Amino acid sequence: MKAGARKSRASRPSRTARDSRDSRSSSAEWWSSYFTDDYLLEFEPIFDATEDRRQVSRLIELLGLPSGARILDVPCGQGRHAHLLAEAGFSVNGLDYSPALLARAKARGTDPDRLRYTRGDMRSLPAKWTGRFDAVVNLFTSFGFFMEPADDARVIAEFARALKPGGMLVWHGGSRDGVMARFLAKDWWTTSDGTLVGQERSFDPLSGILTIHSTFSGGPREMPAREHRIRLYTATRLSELMRDSGLVVEGAYDAWEDRALRRTSSEMLLVARKA
């Protein structure tokens, strides 16, 4: 998910009392109901097939794995990376909690030998996956969703458990340092059906939680406002969490680019290896 999205602009929406009342996803478990077709519409400008291919090429370059190697994409969402990794010749498992997004992923194709999807919670991966994968990928700020920071640590521990010794974790998402350096408190863009998406963002430095309130107007149907929360991590803290689970960070990059992570990089990509 984009912690600091900026796409095409239109007139700016403003937050109203009615929007606040309409916020459906304000429970602690916001993530359990947020990832529906409305999520796909909200972030539509970011989902670009050419960009997906570019990201998967970079993953393949970073991982340097032979054809047939086992890769776990968790959470895989609508399968945009899992599908392309399978197409490139890897044996891919995708796990996600959202039935709606898994249905989208499966609609692009599955194959018992190459591409399998499972519904599950990333805090508790299937027991039979212990030591199974050459690589685990966690992409597009799919981390920091839980109320308790210990659950984030548990997710990293699960990734480590699923890896073979010497296996690699690729983590991509928002970098707290960079998001703070160029904080975008408001942003808005228009989707292909004419919906004006407005986001208002606030950050709590004590918990490290970024709250994003989204409103929708001008589209073909009425959509209630939504809210989601992400605990942002610095590369420092995330690499400590990884180390605690036996994963050693070997590379830290500026998003998907082949250049070192900077203080102002709003996205980071960390490559860690299981000792």
Ligand X SMILES: C[S@@+](CC[C@H](N)C(=O)[O-])C[C@H]1O[C@@H](n2cnc3c(N)ncnc32)[C@H](O)[C@@H]1O
Residues that bind ligand X (CB under 6 A): 1, 31, 35, 75-77, 80-81, 96-98, 101, 121-122, 139-142, 145
The secondary structure of 106-143 as a DSSP string is HHT--BTTTEEEEE--TTS--GGGTT-EEEEEE-SS--
Query: Which of helix, strand or coil describes residue 19?
Result: helix
Q: Which is nearer to ligand X, 33 or 236 (CB)?
A: 33
CB of 35 to ligand X, least distance (A): 3
Nearest approach in angstroms of CB 154 to ligand X is: 10
Return the amino acid letter for 92. Answer: V
CA distance linking residue 30 with residue 25, whole number of Å = 5
Return the structure tokens found at 2.
């984009």
We find the least distance from the C-beta atom of residue 11 to ligand X, in angstroms, to be 27
Buried b (16+ CB within 10 A) or exposed e, 169-205: bbbbbbbbbbbbeeeeeebbbbbeeebbbbbbbebee
* Beta carbon nearer to ligand X, 98 or 239: 98
SS3 at position 213: strand
Residue 174 or 178: which CB sits closer to ligand X?
174
Select 69 or 82, whichever has its Cβ closest to ligand X: 82
CA angle at residue 263 from 260 to 268, to 5 degrees?
Answer: 55
Nearest to 142 by CA among 86, 77, 94, 92: 77
- Minimum Å gap between C-beta 101 and ligand X is 5
Q: Minimal CB distance to ligand X: which residue? A: 77
CB of 190 to ligand X, least distance (A): 21
CB 155 to ligand X: min, Å: 8
